[in-house]
C-alpha cells in the first residue's frame, strides 16, 4: 500500500499480523507542563490547554515519542506543541499509552514488511484483523508506517461459508452416478483429463493429479469411530525427475482453486518456513513464516530437496500437531494446521538409477520418523509417459466443474470434526484394509506401518468422499462409505505398485528375507563342519561379518570362510553392507534357536 494520497489519512484495512516486537513501548498520553506564563506564550499549546497536553491516539506526533531516550522527550514536546525552544519549563508525564510494534501483510498481498504501531491494544500474531490505521512516515527513516487505533478480529473466508440449497444442488455434479470403485475411478480419470487439457497441460499423469488433488480436498480433523484424528489435513511428498509436471500441476491447481501458496524450498530458511526472532533497529522482533501464515490453508514447497535435511526434523511439531513454535528469548507458539505438499527431484540422479524409486526418499529425508509422517509419497519418472503423447496437439475440453470446484474445496475445509461421519461398515473396511497393507508392505520404508496405516487410509478416504460430495440429507456432513475406503486402498496400491516406485516389489524382497531359504539344507551344511558350534558362536557374537575375521575366528582358510559366507548369502541369512556383511533377522532367530540345541 504505497498510494501517496493516503498520507496522514485514516482508513480500514484487512490484515494478517505476521509478527511483533517482544517488548512494547510506553508513550506519553497526558503531560502536565509546569511553567510561568508570559505574554509571549499566547501561541503556546500548553498555555492554551491550561498547562495540560493530551496526545490523541491518532495524533501524528505520537509516533515521534517511540524509541527515544528520556533526554529527547523534552525536544519532542517542544516541536510537537509549538513551545518556544528557550522556554524554561518542566513537565510531568501523568499517563501513558502502551504501544506495540507490529508487522503485518495486507490481505491477499505479499506485503509482510508493513510496520504498524498499535495503541493500547493487544493483538495476536498470525491472526486476521480489520484495523483502523493512519498512514504516517516513521520519524527516523521516513518509512511508511501505520498508527493503529482500533482492531477487530476478522473471520476468514471459511468462517463465512454457508451451504445453501443452490450450492448443494450444483455440487451434486461431483457425485458419480454409481457408487462402485470402477465407476468412481472412471469419473476421476475423466475429471483429471479435463484438468490436464484446460488447467495443468500435463497429460497421462492421473496419479500425479490425484495425489495433489486429494490434499486440496482434505479436512482439518475428524472422528474415526470413537478415535479423534487430530491431523486430518494432508501431508505428502512427490519425488520425480525434472520436467515430469510436479510444479505445473501444483501451481495451476492453486490458481484454479484460488487458495494456497507456492514457495521455493531452495531459498527458504527455517525462519522463512516457520518463523524466527530477528533484531531490527536494536529491537527483537518475532515474525511467523509461510506455513503458520497459511494456517487452515495449503502450502506447496517446491524444490524441498534443497532444504537443510535438519529442517525436516525441526518441522516435526508442525507436521504432527499443527503447532509452530519458536524457542528463543521467549517461547512463542501459534497454530499451523497447514496442508503441505513437498515437491522435489531425486538427489543428484534419475529415478531410474535406483533399484527401487521409493528408496530415493532416504536421500531427501534422513529420519524414519519424519518419513512416517507423510500420508503417502508418490514417485514419478521421465519414462512413464511416451514422448509422442507429450508432444500431441490438444484442444481444450468443456469443463462443467470450473465454477463449483472452489466451492467444493471451501465446503470441505469448513467441515468440523463432528461433520465428518464414517459408517460402521466404512470403519470395518478401514481396519481390514489396514491389516492387509500391514502384511503387504515393508515397514523398512516407514510409509506403511501396522501401527498407523489405518489413519492414513482414513484420511485418504475422507478426501475422496469430500471430493465426490458424499453427504447426508442436510448436505452438511461428509459421509464416508466403504466404497471410499476401497478407493483409498486402490490409490495407495496404484502409487506403490507402479514400476517407478517399486515399494511393493521392495516389500516382497524384504518378506523373502524374513525366512531362511531352504532351512534344512542350511542346517545340514553347517553340521558338516566338525566345529559347527565354533562357527555359530562367531555369528552370534559379531554384528559385522568379514571373511578375514571369520577365518581368524574359526581357524579355517579364507577360501572356506568365503564359501561359508556365500552359502549364508544364498540362504538369505546375510546381506552386504559397505565392506562387511550384516545378519538378517531370520538368521538372528535361527542362531538363538541353535544356541540352545
Q: Find out whether 500 and 241 touch, Cβ atoms under 8 Å.
A: no
- Identify the pLDDT of residue 445: 94
Give the Cα separation of 254 and 252 in Å (integer): 5
- β-bridge mates for residue 39, sequence order: none
The winner for highest mean pLDDT among 159-168, 435-444, 584-593 is 435-444
Per the structure block, which three cell numbers stand in for 498?
A: 507402479
Give the residue-averaged pLDDT of 413-429. 96
For every residue of 224-266, DSSP letters joined together read ETTEEES--S-EEEEEE-TTSSHHHHHHHHHHHHT--EEEETT
Q: How does pLDDT run across 483-519, given as a tens digit for each residue?
A: 999 999 999 999 999 999 999 999 988 887 777 888 8
pLDDT at 18 over 60: yes
Q: Which sign, positive or negative, has the C-alpha torsion 48, 149, 326, 283? A: negative
Confidence label for 550 from pLDDT (cuts 50, 70 and 90):
very high
Whether 74 has a pLDDT exceeding 70, the answer reads yes
532-541 and 519-527 helices cross at what angle (nearest 10)? 120
423 class by beta-carbon count within 10 Å (0-12 exposed, 13-18 middle, 19+ buried) = middle
Sort strands 10-21 and 128-137 into parallel, antiparallel or unpaired: antiparallel
pLDDT band at 382 (very low <50, low <70, confident <90, very high): confident
Instruction: Determine contact, residues 380/321, Cβ cutoff 8 Å.
Output: no
Longest Cα separation, the chain: 123
- pLDDT at 532 exceeding the cut of 70: yes
Could you tell me if 482 and 332 are in contact, meaning their C-beta atoms sit under 8 angstroms apart?
no
Q: Smallest Cα–Cα separation from 179: which of 437, 479, 474, 411?
A: 479
Q: Who has greater pLDDT, 402 or 91? A: 402
Who contacts 322 (Cβ-Cβ below 8 Å, separation ≥6)? Answer: 230, 231, 233, 335, 336, 337, 338
The whole-number pLDDT of residue 390 equals: 66
Tell how far CA 481 is from the center of its chain: 28
What's the CA angle centered on 374, arms 372 and 377, to 5 degrees? 110
Residue 47 is predicted with a pLDDT of 63
pLDDT higher than threshold 80 for residue 38: no
Residue tagged 531516550 (cell numbers):
69
Q: Are 257 and 339 in contact (CB under 8 A)?
A: no
pLDDT at position 194:
96
- The whole-angstrom separation of Cα 121 and Cα 213 is 41
| CA nearest to 23, candidates 325, 284, 326, 288 | 284
- Confidence (pLDDT) at 233: 97
Find out whether 360 and 304 touch, Cβ atoms under 8 Å.
Answer: no
Written as nine digits, the cell of 47 is 498555555
Q: How large is the average pLDDT for residues 355-380? A: 94
- Position 542 scores a pLDDT of 92
For residues 70-80, give the mean pLDDT.
82
Give the mean model confidence (pLDDT) for residues 67-81: 81
Q: Is 163 strand, coil or helix? A: coil
Which of 55 and 237 is assigned the larger pLDDT? Answer: 237
Arithmetic mean of pLDDT, 2-24:
82
Point out the least confidently predicted range of 133-137, 178-182, 196-200, 330-334.
330-334
- How many Å is the Cα radius of gyration of the chain? 33
What's residue 549's pLDDT?
92
Q: pLDDT at position 506, please? A: 93
576 strand-pairing partners = 581
pLDDT of residue 4: 66
pLDDT one-digit tens code per residue, 281-316: 677 788 899 999 999 999 999 999 888 878 888 899
Reported confidence tier of residue 547, pLDDT bands at 50, 70, 90: very high
Task: Mention every residue, 6+ apart, whose C-beta is less than 8 A from residue 488.
Answer: 433, 457, 458, 460, 461, 464
Which long-range contacts (C-beta less than 8 Å, at least 24 apart) are formed by 382-390? 382/241, 382/242, 382/243, 382/244, 382/350, 382/351, 382/352, 383/352, 384/204, 384/205, 384/244, 384/498, 384/499, 384/500, 385/203, 385/204, 385/205, 386/204, 389/203, 389/204, 390/203
State residue 261's pLDDT score.
Answer: 93
**What confidence score (pLDDT) does residue 36 get?**
73
Share of the chain above pLDDT 90, in %: 57
pLDDT tens, residue by residue, 423-475: 999 999 999 999 999 999 999 899 999 889 999 999 999 999 999 999 999 99
The pLDDT of residue 132 is 93
Tell me if 102 sits within 8 A of 123, measured CB to CB.
yes
* Rounded (10°) CA dihedral 44, 48, 54, 56: -90
Give me the pLDDT at residue 54, please: 84
Least confident of 221-235, 389-403, 577-591: 389-403
- Rounded to whole angstroms, how far apart are CA atoms 294 and 287? 14
User: How high is the mean pLDDT of the chain?
Assistant: 89
Q: Are 269 and 411 in contact (CB under 8 A)?
A: no
Cβ burial, residue 281 (10 Å; 0-12/13-18/19+): exposed
Q: What local confidence, expressed as pLDDT, does residue 435 receive? A: 96
The full 3-state SS of 448-503, as one line of letters, equals CCCCCHHHHHHHHHHHHHHHCCCECCCCCCEEECHHHHHHHHHHHHHHHHCCCCCH
Predicted confidence at residue 111, as pLDDT, reads 57
**Per-residue confidence (pLDDT) for residue 388, from 0 to 100:** 66
Amino acid at each position: 500500500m504505497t498510494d501517496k494520497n493516503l498520507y496522514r489519512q485514516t482508513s480500514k484495512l484487512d490484515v494478517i499480523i505476521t509478527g511483533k516486537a517482544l517488548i512494547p513501548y510506553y508513550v506519553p498520553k497526558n503531560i502536565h507542563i509546569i511553567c510561568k506564563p508570559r505574554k509571549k506564550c499566547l501561541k503556546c499549546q500548553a498555555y492554551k490547554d491550561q498547562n495540560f497536553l493530551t496526545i490523541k491516539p491518532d495524533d501524528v506526533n505520537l509516533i515521534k515519542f517511540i524509541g527515544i531516550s528520556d533526554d529527547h522527550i523534552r525536544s519532542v514536546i517542544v516541536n510537537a506543541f509549538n513551545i518556544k525552544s528557550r522556554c524554561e519549563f518542566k513537565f510531568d508525564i501523568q499517563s501513558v499509552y502502551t504501544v506495540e510494534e507490529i508487522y503485518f501483510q495486507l490481505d491477499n498481498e505479499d506485503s509482510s514488511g508493513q510496520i504498524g504501531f498499535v495503541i493500547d491494544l493487544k493483538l495476536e500474531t498470525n491472526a486476521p484483523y480489520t484495523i483502523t490505521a493512519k498512514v504516517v512516515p516513521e520519524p527516523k527513516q521516513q518509512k511508511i508506517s501505520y498508527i493503529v487505533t482500533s482492531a477487530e478480529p476478522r473471520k476468514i473466508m471459511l468462517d463465512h461459508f454457508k451451504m445453501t440449497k443452490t450450492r448443494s444442488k450444483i455440487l451434486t455434479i461431483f457425485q458419480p452416478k454409481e457408487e462402485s470403485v470402477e465407476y468412481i475411478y472412471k469419473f476421476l480419470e475423466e475429471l483429471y483429463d479435463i484438468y490436464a487439457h484446460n488447467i495443468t497441460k500435463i497429460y497421462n499423469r492421473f496419479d500425479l493429479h490425484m495425489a495433489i488433488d486429494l490434499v486440496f480436498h482434505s479436512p482439518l480433523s475428524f472422528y474415526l469411530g470413537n478415535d479423534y484424528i487430530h491431523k486430518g489435513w494432508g501431508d505428502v511428498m512427490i519425488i520425480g525427475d525434472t520436467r515430469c509436471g510436479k510444479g505445473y500441476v501444483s501451481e495451476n491447481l492453486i490458481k484454479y482453486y484460488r487458495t494456497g501458496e507456492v514457495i521455493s524450498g531452495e531459498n527458504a530458511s527455517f525462519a522463512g518456513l516457520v518463523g524466527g526472532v530477528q533484531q531490527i533497529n536494536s529491537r527483537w522482533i518475532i515474525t511467523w513464516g509461510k506455513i503458520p501464515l497459511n494456517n487452515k490453508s495449503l502450502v506447496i514447497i517446491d524444490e524441498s530437496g534443497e532444504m537443510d535435511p535438519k529442517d525436516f526434523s525441526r518441522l516435526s511439531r508442525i507436521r504432527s500437531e499443527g503447532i509452530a513454535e519458536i524457542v528463543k528469548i521467549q517461547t512463542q507458539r501459534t497454530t499451523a494446521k497447514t496442508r503441505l505438499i513437498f515437491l522435489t527431484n531425486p538427489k543428484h540422479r534419475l529415478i531410474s538409477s535406483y533399484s527401487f524409486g521409493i528408496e530415493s526418499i532416504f536421500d531427501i529425508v534422513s529420519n524414519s520418523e519424519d518419513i512416517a509422517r507423510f500420508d503417502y509419497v508418490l514417485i514419478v519418472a521421465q519414462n512413464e509417459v511416451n514422448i509422442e503423447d507429450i508432444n500431441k496437439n490438444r484442444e481444450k475440453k468443456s469443463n462443467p466443474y470450473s465454477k463449483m470446484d472452489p466451492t467444493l474445496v471451501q465446503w470441505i475445509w469448513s467441515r468440523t470434526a463432528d461433520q465428518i461421519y464414517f459408517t460402521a461398515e466404512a470403519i470395518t473396511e478401514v481396519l481390514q484394509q489396514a491389516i492387509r497393507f500391514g502384511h503387504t508392505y515393508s515397514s523398512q520404508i516407514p510409509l506403511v506401518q501396522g501401527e498407523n496405516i489405518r489413519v492414513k487410509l482414513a484420511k485418504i478416504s475422507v478426501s475422496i468422499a469430500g471430493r465426490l460430495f458424499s453427504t447426508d440429507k442436510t448436505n452438511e456432513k461428509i459421509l464416508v462409505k466403504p466404497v471410499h475406503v476401497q478407493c483409498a486402498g486402490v490409490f495407495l496400491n496404484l502409487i506403490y505398485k507402479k514400476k517407478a516406485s517399486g515399494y511393493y516389489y521392495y516389500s516382497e524382497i524384504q518378506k523373502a528375507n524374513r525366512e531362511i531359504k531352504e532351512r534344512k539344507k542350511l542346517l545340514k551344511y553347517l553340521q558338516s563342519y566338525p566345529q559347527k558350534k565354533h562357527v555359530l558362536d562367531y555369528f552370534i557374537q559379531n554384528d559385522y561379518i568379514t571373511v578375514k575375521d571369520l577365518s581368524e575366528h574359526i581357524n579355517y582358510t579364507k577360501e572356506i570362510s568365503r564359501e561359508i559366507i556365500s552359502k549364508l548369502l544364498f540362504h538369505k541369512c546375510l546381506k552386504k553392507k559397505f565392506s562387511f556383511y550384516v545378519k538378517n533377522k531370520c538368521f538372528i532367530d535361527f542362531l538363538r534357536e541353535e544356541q540352545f540345541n
